[in-house]
Amino acid sequence: MQKIPMFINGEWVHADGEEILHVTNPSTGEVLAQIINASEAQVNEAVRAARSAFESEEWRQVKAFERGQLLVACARYIRLHAEEWSLLECRDVGKPLTQARADIEAAARYFEFYGGAADKIMGDTIPIEDGLLNAVVLEPVGITVHIVPWNYPIQITARSVAAAIATGNAVIVKSAEDTPLTTHAMTEWFADKLPKGIFQHITGLGRDVGPYLTAHPDINHITFTGSVPTGIAVMKAAAENVVPVTLELGGKSPNIVFADASMEQAMEGVLRAIIQNAGQTCSAGARLLIEERAKESFIAQLVEKFQALTVGPGEADVDMGPLLNERQYSKISALLQQAKDDGYVITGGKTLTIAGYENGYYIEPTILDGVDANHALAQEEIFGPVLTVLTFTTVEEAITLANSTDFGLVAGVWSKDLDTAHYVASRVKAGQVFVNNYGAAGGIQMPFGGYKKSGIGREKGFVALRNYTQMKNIAIRYAPPNLT
């Protein structure tokens, strides 16, 4: 069994009396690795080392383009080891290998993208008056904390860490207790490439270790992806020290299908949007809003497609893997049992036992129909392969339904009519709207984040670099030189 050390102040920190936690493979239920539940003293030491590294002359002397080259080299390394890292992600999260491979490639793309951006992050000059040069300079914020969830560990680590290093910060990553493997692999690569204290990896339970980090008075930014309640706790802790946060808190995203859409295209989009990573995706298309007159045939075909999906261990590279752990599995299977009792399940709804993988956390891809728009099943994030169907007859009704939850992360609009597509896109309250597609092939370059309780701030794209910089205005008075 792999024993995963932490990486603090340029040293590998192995377990020495601290509590040990087990990491399991969701496909088999077997223990894969063990991690340390970091102590408060270890977290404090990481913050102290980050501060010392950030303020050091050594780090200050690393040029922007050199930081960029390092990140691009990381991308190259990730691609060289893509198959090995895909397997790590597949075993850690349970996701099918093809999806794990896509995550590894996306991580490489983040390093490449932000590596290329590192020496192109420019400030501004502002005209004031003769004799006054006014410059707006972008400086790194300092110590950035990255709290990573378990659904897309490598991608979510890469997207914020690459942007933070590109802008010259000292980063501390806290991987999710269930999925530390690829973050550890990334740490191994960074270990001898950066001054000690610039890249550190902390492990442990979020509820224990998280507050040590988020409430620390000497950090300068927190990037968090996770649930709404934990996001609120993170924000409250940060508020005590007036530390800014970037929060990505999931959603209940709608796919809005009009009767004039290409049904084949829409159906494929709706299906992929909810079964990817077994529905454990912040931007999962968890609600299907379908125009009444198209409903019967659309749903009949969709049910057939759901029933044809293969479910099994990630390494078998089926359509859908297991849920992450016992907790998610018990929560979602109980919720499905209730939905079945209430008569909402039109396909799926049960747990699955896969021969040879009896301890894996498998459930059937599920469609729910007949649910009231205000019901919890249509309002709350389930975080599993469960699609809730709602029906509309007018464009306005579709928009009202789309906007009827507390979330606003992503929306899909499917229509061949230009007016309908543009109008709905303009009225939907979501950070990203996809028309006749869902996800735009990963969208490394596109700002990503939520309206309403889906979060604060934006990740991905050029705009995310602003999370990791602060603005300084320097006004320089000068006078005509006296040359005599």
Rank residues 248 and 364 by Cβ distance to ligand TXE and give the closer one.
Answer: 248
Q: According to the binding rule CB under 6 A, does residue 284 interact with ligand TXE? A: no
Sequence length of the chain is: 484
- Give the ranges where 2-149 is alpha helix by DSSP (H): 40-55, 57-60, 64-80, 82-93, 97-117
User: By CB under 6 A, what part of segment 191-220 binds ligand TXE?
Assistant: 206-207, 210-211, 214
User: Which member of 89, 177, 248, 459 is catalytic?
Assistant: 248
User: By CB under 6 A, what part of segment 177-196 binds ligand TXE?
Assistant: 177
Query: Which DSSP string do the residues of 204-251 spell out, in sequence order?
Result: S-HHHHHHHHHT-TT--EEEEES-HHHHHHHHHHHHHTT--EEEE---
Q: From CA 287, how far away is CA 300, in angstroms rounded?
A: 17
Backbone angles phi, psi at 452, to 5 degrees: 50, -135
User: By CB under 6 A, what part of segment 76-135 binds ligand TXE?
Assistant: none
Compute the C-alpha angle 371/377/381, nearest 5°.
150
Rank residues 272 and 293 by Cβ distance to ligand TXE and give the closer one.
Answer: 272
Q: According to the binding rule CB under 6 A, does residue 6 interact with ligand TXE? A: no
State yes or no: is 248 an active-site residue.
yes
Q: According to the binding rule CB under 6 A, does residue 312 interact with ligand TXE? A: no
Q: Which residue among 25, 28, 151, 200 contacts ligand TXE (CB under 6 A)?
A: 151
Give the CA count within 13 Å in the CB-facing half-sphere of 322: 33
- Residue 194 gets which letter from DSSP? S
Rank residues 112 and 177 by Cβ distance to ligand TXE and give the closer one.
Answer: 177
As measured in angstroms, the least distance from the Cβ of 109 to ligand TXE is: 19
Rank residues 115 and 231 by Cβ distance to ligand TXE and give the closer one.
Answer: 231
Helix/strand/coil (H/E/C) assignment for every residue in 356-401: CCCCCCEECCEEECCCCCCCHHHHCCCCCCEEEEEEECCHHHHHHH
User: By CB under 6 A, what part of segment 323-362 binds ligand TXE?
Assistant: 328
Structure-token pair, residue 343: 């008569």
Q: From CA 157, how far away is CA 423, in angstroms rounded?
A: 35
Q: According to the binding rule CB under 6 A, does residue 410 interact with ligand TXE? A: no
Q: Using an 8 Å Cβ cutoff, are 173 and 202 in contact?
A: yes
Q: According to the binding rule CB under 6 A, does residue 248 interact with ligand TXE? A: yes
As measured in angstroms, the least distance from the Cβ of 75 to ligand TXE is: 23
Q: According to the binding rule CB under 6 A, does residue 459 interact with ligand TXE? A: no
Q: According to the binding rule CB under 6 A, does residue 282 interact with ligand TXE? A: yes
Q: According to the binding rule CB under 6 A, does residue 234 interact with ligand TXE? A: yes
Catalytic positions: 248
Residues that bind ligand TXE (CB under 6 A): 147, 149-151, 176-177, 206-207, 210-211, 214, 225-227, 230, 233-234, 248-250, 282, 328, 381, 383
